[in-house]
Structure 1
């Protein structure tokens, strides 16, 4: 589909239902429609909001590393659709470090943030560290916080990601947090292996309702209501 917005109601499931407001993207805040949706979720302009960037998923993917993380957290092309949107403040929250830090310190950092900017990489690795760090358990107490996911940062909220997207060797399977009841195929038509035909085969494997989304599309989820915001191309697949 191109352009039109889809609105539907889906039951959230898993142990994190009723959690943060979700803006699940493939490539970040890439156009005016997605930015407007973000500011509606925030209930004020980006320039008045405090952000925390979570780069953790990158460490679980073989194509990511210090350079890609630097491009996210510092000024550069990778930051312009996420950390470089003009936030009042931007900090970095590395989940792999949190288990070594007194929760009385880091929990306050998260609670004081208006938005969590969660980058891509490997969603199973991110899922592991969200649980291990305690962030997953904290999310249900943050109903006013906005979660902006990019690629794996969005996929981690789904029930499963499909074996084709698992890159972390220690992953036991493709299951993730299951906050929403649908799966996400990101980067539609961005790579030769991410065509609609590939997405259709992937959707048949995951066995749950699913969306294939391109870089100009986001899925907004608030209180169980799902809305696709797009200036690009996307496709919904039934289970």
Structure 2
């Protein structure tokens, strides 16, 4: 068995219904699976968020169950075949995952190939070694920044390019990623809206509606088009600042 990941930059793309931009990818990922367990912990209204996901995934013939409704979470995590971790605030999400003791069991089952993992936005950020490349405000404080560590590099979901006519004088997204690389030697993939990563074991591909931008220490950022094989990123060595 091999690990199986589908990592979206976003679930909503401008002018489209939720996940409309990725129908083919979802159909392939969810094929032959009937139940998706949903982690709504990046939001505050768990029932409302879960109902939104139920509606979005209904065309794919799956039943969506919010993890907040199960009576035995740890047993559910051992039995589940598909886990979807949704977007919202990454700090709130990680703090809840820690409190529910989800990090280790999910990591073990995904890496063994027993559990398929789907993430969007903050959920995609959680697939990385840490959440340090999130865009979110720290509205709560997790015990650490360590996430599921399902891939060996970092992702910046919702990556935005600087606007040429903008009068904003603050840091751009590229500025912030370059600051991260001053302290941490690990690739950061900026996933623009409408793009996603598909991982099957040792194979990793970029797909979707937009190019992705890869940042690495000591080199200029590189652009990659949808359909690009990025499997080599899975063998990159990473060094994180251990003081944080």
What's the TM-score once normalised by structure 1's chain length? 0.66
Q: Could you tell me which of 38, 51, 56 is aligned with 2:36?
A: 51
* Mapped pair 1:230 → 2:208: yes
Alignment of 1:87-102 (within 5 A): 87-94=61-68
Alignment of 1:1-239 (within 5 A): 20-28=3-11, 30-31=19-20, 34-42=22-30, 44=31, 48-58=33-43, 65-66=44-45, 69-75=46-52, 81=56, 83-94=57-68, 105-139=72-106, 140-142=108-110, 143-160=113-130, 161-162=132-133, 164-171=135-142, 174-189=145-160, 198-207=172-181, 208-239=186-217
For this pair of structures, how many residues does the alignment match?
197
Structure number with greater CO (CA < 8 Å, separation at least 6) is 1
CA distance in structure 2 between the aligned counterparts of 1:204 and 1:191, rounded to whole angstroms: 14
CA distance in structure 1 between the aligned counterparts of 2:96 and 2:188, rounded to whole angstroms: 24
What's the TM-score once normalised by structure 2's chain length? 0.65
Listed one character per residue, the Cα deviations across residues 80-139 of structure 1 (whole Å, up to 9, x for unaligned) are 55x444343111013xx88xx6xxx33343344332121112323323332332322212
Listed one character per residue, the Cα deviations across residues 183-207 of structure 1 (whole Å, up to 9, x for unaligned) are 22222349989xxx82311221222
Contact 1:54 1:117 (8 Å CA) reproduced: yes
Listed one character per residue, the Cα deviations across residues 153-203 of structure 1 (whole Å, up to 9, x for unaligned) are 11012133247534233246644343322222222349989xxx8231122
Contact 1:26 1:150 (8 Å CA) reproduced: yes
Gaps of 5+ in 2: 12-17, 218-244
- Paired residue for 2:235? none
CA distance in structure 1 between the aligned counterparts of 2:28 and 2:79, rounded to whole angstroms: 19
Contact 2:35 2:64 (8 Å CA) reproduced: yes
Gaps of 5+ in 1: 1-17, 59-64
